[in-house]
């Protein structure tokens, strides 16, 4: 989830052991299918639905030799497929590969499609002055090669506040386990993000239709249309999502239980809303960031104290023209950003944001995730940043303190950039870490100012920041100045029911890493036998949803096994009577999986 800086009140994987004959068998099958299609006058044999149909003929070969899937990806990548249009507003074409680890499946293994959605699902008479009554929602379909056919499961990622390809390329839990379940993968983009843009240019009035309710209705219409297109109305749908996407996954299960059989909700702070969130929850984000920067979080013993000691030094310097110029030069801030003493709030917020995002991305491996795929943070970035502040506070000068803080936040702001991207000359305090992140931040701030009004504050004692108690009225006024709207402060609980709704719900797994600052307002204890909480002591922002790596702690491996056991139960309960279950081995395998976890 994006950390809102609130409006200020002031190459392919190697194929191991694959025999030459297996290559030849597969190539022969593909060539035969292609000739069969061409005889029928259809050159788009490997369109999404055609692929599903024809791959059923090859599946017996693949079941005997799963590694053939890797080769199949390579073969399909060479096929020239033109765009196809399906009825019901479904449009498809093969997506261009995006930057992702080539040893893993990702965007190049999917078909990119567009689905026509109404701008407003809840108005019978849309306003006459809308530029268009519909928009094209982007989504991706992946895994046609192993999909089990009619009645087989669908794993559906409920896209959140970014380009959906970010989640597509990162959601290893879905990719790594879909073949075992025979599940089709669907990654749906949230309206107003990525390429799913209803109305432009963006004004407050045109953003009225940016809401979680509208997004969930988008997903509902999309999955109904897709199941109709596949002629598979009984396919159980498992929702996946991380952060805001995890909130959406759980809310989708709550609002549309007839469409969603279960939900995996990673790092979903669903309890972060008035009137349920208390003072401890409001200050939990800042406290957990601080814990990450302490020995309890694996960092050195001096880091948090030095960060806390830097704030009064910065405020003192900001009081004078010469001091503001020193801050500008020391932190490489663009000239003019600190024109007045009040502008120090921008600098403080900018510095605080770096620690917040590094805490969210505090993974045991290098990651592009919190940078929206546009750069790489090192493994354990908070620990890396803290090494620049690894000295006794009492022995440090103001210069040493500020230089240490500058170098620490540069781990985030001066991240490793993609080849060809120009280095940063100076930092713009009002801009995101990159242009992708800036658009996300702008739109997410609008959501914060309407329905995602999630309180946050700091006391400067338990945390390493400065005292900044939550002031809902001041934040509401700031939202009105920026967007002309006041937040509906309790609407999320009114709409989705908060804790009481979860007590009546079923088939939701909430996972939280305790290094993740959002975990403080997540579900950390089982609510019932079927609404359960899983925690990771050394987990950051929805680590369990990521691809497996050799650096994964043992606890994340166990959490993933438990999640798969719940998915197996949901699929078995929803799908046992389907034709897919009767003729496939999957339900038997599901029972086996339940026994072994």
Active site residues: 243, 516, 541
As a whole number of angstroms, the distance between CA 452 and CA 448 comes to 4
Give 109's DSSP letter.
G
Q: Please state whether beta strands 90-94 and 84-85 pair in parallel, antiparallel, or not at all (unpaired).
A: antiparallel
Helix residue ranges, H only, 40-133: 48-64, 68-77
Cis ω before 275 (30° cut-off from 0): yes
Half-sphere exposure of 418 (CA within 13 A, CB side): 11
**What distances in angstroms separate CA 461 from CA 232, 286, 293, 308, 405, one per listed residue?**
56, 10, 14, 9, 19
110 SS3 class: strand
Separation CA 503–CA 100 (nearest Å): 39
Sign of CA dihedral 242, 245, 248, 253: negative
Quote the CA–CA distance of 269 and 459 in Å, as a whole number. 21
Do residues 513 and 542 lie in contact, with contact meaning Cβ atoms separated by under 8 Å?
A: yes
Q: Are 64 and 26 in contact (CB under 8 A)?
A: no
Residue where the block lists tokens 């029911």: 497
> What long-range pairs does 418-423 form, CB within 8 A, spacing at least 24?
418/99, 418/374, 418/375, 421/374, 421/375
């Amino acid at each position: 989830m994006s950390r809102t800086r609130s409006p200020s009140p002031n190459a392919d994987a190697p194929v191991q052991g694959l025999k030459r004959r297996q290559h030849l068998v597969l190539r022969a099958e593909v060539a035969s299918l292609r000739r069969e299609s061409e005889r029928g006058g259809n050159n788009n044999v490997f369109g999404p639905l055609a692929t599903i149909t024809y791959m059923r003929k090859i599946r017996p070969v693949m079941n005997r030799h799963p590694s053939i899937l890797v080769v199949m990806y390579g073969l399909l990548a060479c096929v020239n497929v033109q765009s196809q249009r399906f009825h019901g507003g479904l449009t498809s074409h093969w997506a261009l590969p995006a930057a992702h680890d080539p040893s893993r499946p990702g965007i190049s293994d999917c078909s990119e499609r567009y689905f026509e959605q109404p701008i407003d699902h809840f108005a019978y008479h849309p306003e006459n002055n809308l530029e268009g009554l519909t928009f094209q929602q982007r989504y991706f379909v992946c895994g046609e090669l192993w999909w089990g056919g009619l009645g087989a499961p669908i794993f559906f990622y409920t896209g959140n506040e970014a380009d959906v390809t970010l989640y597509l390329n990162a959601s290893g839990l879905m990719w790594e386990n879909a073949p075992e379940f025979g599940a089709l993968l669907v990654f749906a983009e949230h309206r107003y993000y990525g390429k799913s843009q209803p109305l432009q240019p963006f004004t407050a009035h045109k953003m009225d239709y940016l809401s979680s309710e509208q997004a969930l209705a988008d997903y509902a219409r999309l999955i109904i249309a897709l199941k109709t297109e596949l002629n598979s109305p009984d396919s159980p749908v498992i929702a996946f999502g991380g952060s805001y996407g995890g909130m959406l996954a759980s809310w989708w299960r709550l609002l549309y239980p007839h469409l969603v059989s279960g939900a995996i909700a990673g790092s979903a702070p669903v309890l972060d809303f008035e009137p349920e969130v208390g003072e401890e929850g409001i200050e939990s984000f800042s406290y957990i960031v601080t814990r990450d920067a302490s020995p309890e979080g694996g960092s050195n013993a001096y880091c948090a104290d030095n960060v806390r000691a830097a704030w009064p030094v910065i405020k003192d310097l900001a009081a004078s023209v010469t001091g503001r110029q020193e801050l500008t030069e020391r932190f490489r801030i663009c000239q003019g950003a600190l024109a007045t003493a009040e502008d120090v709030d921008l600098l403080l917020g900018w510095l605080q944001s770096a620690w917040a995002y590094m805490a969210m991305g505090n993974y045991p491996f290098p990651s592009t995730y919190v940078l929206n795929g546009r750069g790489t943070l090192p493994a354990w970035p908070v620990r890396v940043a803290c090494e620049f502040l690894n000295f006794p506070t009492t022995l440090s000068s103001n210069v040493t303190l500020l230089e240490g803080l500058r170098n620490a936040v540069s781990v985030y702001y001066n991240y490793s950039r993609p080849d060809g991207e120009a280095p940063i000359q100076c930092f713009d305090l009002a801009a995101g870490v990159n242009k992708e992140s800036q658009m996300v931040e702008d739109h997410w701030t609008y959501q914060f100012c309407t329905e995602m009004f999630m309180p946050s504050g700091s006391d400067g004692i338990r945390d390493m920041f400065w005292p900044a108690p939550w002031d809902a009225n001041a934040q509401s006024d700031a939202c009105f100045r920026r967007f002309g709207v006041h937040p509906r402060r309790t609407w999320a609980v009114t709409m989705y029911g908060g804790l009481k709704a979860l007590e009546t719900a079923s088939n939701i797994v909430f996972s939280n890493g305790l290094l993740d600052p959002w975990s403080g307002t997540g579900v950390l204890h089982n609510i019932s036998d079927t609404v359960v909480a899983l925690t990771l002591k050394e987990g950051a922002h929805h680590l369990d949803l990521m691809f497996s790596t050799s650096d994964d702690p043992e606890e994340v491996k166990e959490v993933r096994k438990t999640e798969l056991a719940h998915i197996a139960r949901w699929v078995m309960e929803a799908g046992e009577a389907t034709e897919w279950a009767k003729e496939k081995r999957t339900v038997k395998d599901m029972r086996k999986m339940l026994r072994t976890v």
